[in-house]
Amino acid sequence: MSLRIGIDVGGTNTDAVVVDDDGQVVATTKSATTPDPFDGIRESLAKVVQGVDAAEISQAMLGTTHPANAIIQRRDLEKVGVLRLAAPASMGVRPGVAWPADLHRAIIHKAAIVKGGNEYDGAEISPLDEDAIRAFAEECAQHIGAVAVSAPFSPASHEHELRTAEILAEELGGDFPVSLSHRVGALGLLERENATILNSSLLGVARNVVAGFHSALTENGLDVDSFLTQNDGTLMSSDEAIRFPVLTLGSGPTNSMRGACSLAGLSDALVIDVGGTSADVGILVDGFPRESTAAVEVGGVRTNFRMPDLISVGLGGGTVVRSGDGQAGEVAVGPDSVGYRVLTEALVRGGSTVTLSDISVAAGRLKGFGDAELLQGLDPQLVERALAWVDTQIGIMTERMKASRHSLPLIAVGGGSHLVPDRVAGASEVIRPENHAVANAFGAAIAEASGSIDRVYRYENRGREACLDEARSLATDAAVKAGADPQKVRITSLAEVPLTYVPGKACRVQVKAAGPLDR
């Protein structure tokens, strides 16, 4: 038997599960997330492997908030040199022009637009200016930790980006970190460029995350293949995660949705993941989270990499509840939360802060969490109105996420899912599957490897079916390269977007393939 470990680091709890080949849960644990998240990872690992034969564990998967928190909190970010290969086009919009000022100062040391790049059909905008690239490298070499390179339509024609990487390696050294946009984002120059810059800024964070993960595994006697989960619910190797940390930014909610899907045995459903600080609602389509069609903002920066379509609100087990300023019985809920300190600060745990966990205990929704006797002085009207606020917010999020009037089941997961009522307007039923409290870690443990392709084809030249076959083959090859079993890879999505403003029956083709890890 081969076992896998799944770990997910949330703002309040770090969860871990052990799963067997059949997807059955062997062991679970929850530990409070600590100020140093790696302490929580070590503690969860030590607990979950007790009683399990370590020799049977072959893989470990981690979902973490480290990169997202680094951007949100503006800490531990690398200084980046930004090269856009597009002149004389795009000179009117500088790299990072719409970024928040504080994030721009924290990351972008120098930006330049040099001659190069390609049109949608592969024709050069202008020859690549290699001298300008060498001058850029010389000028900022002592001040940056990484370089981000982008060019128009590079997912389709990336020769100029690859040549730029070769030049930078000659000037800065072969080990100097360089992020190329065609490996990070999809079509759409500015958003892809933003994602590439963020990726470069997170390379140091990624190295620390992977090193800490490996250290925690080693301390628990585990010599296994390690992976990190991506925004789309699939896996990348830890080596790849060091190179592409930006692709892990939305992995937490996605892990929960994929875990909920598998635990409940459903492929199409609404999912609400309630933690200690926030609640996320998304929708599953054929077992995968529906991806956002809009540009996704990360720390105030527009990007275009794959992210789940989610609605979030500050509603969790640690959310603070206060009496309103008006008449008795009024209530103010959140958005602040005590987070992982709910174990010591909630009233039922002997603390002095009224949290939604206290409200849930008082209402009978949550049992076995602290001493209910400590709530005797809690105003019943406060409990009633706080609970009404929770139910209203959950109903609103559910209705907003639905794609049609058709009712879908709502799967409630996460450590704070006790806050979800048994009936929610707009949902056909509320399902709480077994092990729902650790659905995020379970989702990481069962995640698959994937590959995707996003290109512009001219059907007039080769024919539609030949172009689609090539796209499917490229996506499949990418999934196999990522670690998927070649015999079990399947195409999970294919989208065609006709480009009516471009001659030659041009069409943007997006294909994704996924499959279980090759053992």
Q: Domains in the chain, please, with CATH?
A: 3-70+206-265 (3.30.420.40), 78-201 (3.40.50), 447-515 (no CATH)
364: pLDDT strictly greater than 60: yes
- Mean pLDDT (the chain) is 87
| C-alpha–C-alpha distance, residues 75 and 108, integer Å | 14
**Which amino acid is present at 480?**
V
Q: How many residues does the chain have?
A: 519
CA distance 413 to 28: 14
pLDDT at 313 over 70: yes
Grade residue 390 by pLDDT with cuts at 50, 70 and 90: very high
Question: Could you tell me how far CA 154 lies from the centroid of its own chain?
Answer: 24
Residue range 23-32: mean pLDDT, rounded: 85
Residue 473 token pair: 């083959």
Tell me which residue of 265, 164, 236, 148 sits closest to 197, measured CA to CA: 148
pLDDT at 377 over 70: yes
Is the pLDDT higher at 440 or at 134?
Answer: 134
Structure tokens at 37: 């998240």
- Amino acid 306: pLDDT: 67
Is pLDDT above 90 for 360?
yes
Q: Over the stretch 86-127, which tens digit does the pLDDT of each residue have?
A: 998 888 889 998 899 999 999 999 999 999 998 877 788 999
DSSP 3-state percent helix, strand, coil across the chain (nearest 5): 35, 30, 35
What tens digit of pLDDT does each residue of 236-257 get?
Answer: 888 888 999 988 887 777 888 8
- Decide if 226 contacts 213 (C-beta within 8 A): yes
Whole-number pLDDT of residue 285: 82
Average pLDDT in the 284-310 region? 76
Q: What is the pLDDT of residue 418?
A: 92
pLDDT at 272: 92
CA atoms within 13 A on the CB side of 296: 23
pLDDT in tens, 33-53: 776 777 888 888 888 888 888
**Residue 456 and residue 461: Cα distance in Å, rounded?**
12
Q: Taking the CB of residue 165, how many other CB atoms lie within 10 A of it? A: 18
More confident residue, 368 or 297: 368
Angular region, 331: left φ>0, alpha ψ -120 to 50, beta rest:
beta
Pick from 22-31, 197-206, 291-300, 445-454: least confident: 291-300
Q: What is the pLDDT of residues 322-340, one digit of tens each?
A: 886 555 557 888 788 887 7
**pLDDT at residue 350 tops 70:** yes
* Lowest-pLDDT range of 14-23, 206-215, 356-365, 395-404: 395-404
Identify the residue whose tokens are 């409290």.
437
147-203 confidence digits (pLDDT tens): 999 999 888 788 999 999 999 999 999 899 999 998 887 778 898 999 999 999 999
Report whether pLDDT(513) > 80.
yes
Cα–Cα distance for residue pair 12/162, rounded to 1 Å: 42
